[in-house]
Structure 1
């Protein structure tokens, strides 16, 4: 049986353009205060987590009003007590957000393509994405205040 990627959908009262901005230039508002931005395909941005937890660099593969796709091109995911292999498991994975206008707001479908249960980091990363994408991004888009890592 094929392993399933991490995948979630949120619905927000924000507009599609507000959602797109949050997923290209607003990461500091909902993911991590140490975040880069993307203005055009090919841009590379770093996302850090206090140094001690590591960082990821992503390359913008697609930046369209209804789709943001990033590929992890560098990774250092540090977790004490886990094998060294966990550090680079995100390399080559893709974070893909599909953004669709709905009645009264926007639906955002997120797939972390390559983040599957067979990875050492899956449980940690699933909990992280649930906290940052499902909770923090949702809060940021609906209220203007997210819960990013600081």
Structure 2
């Protein structure tokens, strides 16, 4: 049986250009205030959570108006009470953001390739992406105010 990657889609009233900016240079406004940014393919950015739950480092693989792809090149996902293997489960995974015009706004699909239900972190990460992508990014694009993690 093939394990399915995490995948969600949101609809927003924002234009594609704003969605692209939010996923490249505005990540701190909806995911974590401790976020890097991507301005060109090959850029590497760190996304942290005040050392509490670790950090992830991503490399920009594709930065196109309708498709953005990041590859996780370093991972330290800390969760007390979970096996040590959880720390690097995102290593080598890829987030692929597909952006398309839709009903006067924009549709964004996130597929996190490699984030599958067989991973120790899946339930935690699914809930995290649902909170930050489905809720916070959508709120940011629709209202200008996201709900990112704010470090101490």
Both structures adopt the same fold (TM-score exceeding 0.5): yes
CA RMSD after TM alignment = 0.4
Give the secondary-structure state (helix, strand or coil) at the position aligned to 1:23: helix
Question: Partners of 1:124 and 1:109 in 2: how far apart?
Answer: 20
Aligned counterpart, 2:103: 103
> Which residue does the alignment assign to 1:35?
35
Q: Deviations over 1:76-102 (max 9, x none)?
A: 000000000000000000011000011
Shift >6 Å, 4+ stretches:
none
CA distance in 1, matches of 2:28, 2:91: 22
Counterpart CA distance in 1 for 2:119 and 2:56 is 16
Q: CA deviation at 1:104?
A: 1.3
Under a length normalisation based on structure 1, what TM-score does the superposition of the two structures give? 0.99
Match of residue 79 from structure 1: 79
**1:2-21 residue pairs with structure 2 within 5 A?**
2-21=2-21
Structure 2: where are the runs of 5+ without partners? none
3-state SS in 2 of match to 1:109: strand
CA-to-partner distance for each residue in 1:45-98, whole Å, 9 max, x for gaps? 000001121000000000000011000000000000000000000000001100
1:127 aligns with 127
- Structure 1 unaligned segments of length 5 or more: list them: none
How many residues align structurally?
Answer: 150
The residue number in structure 2 matching 1:140 is 140
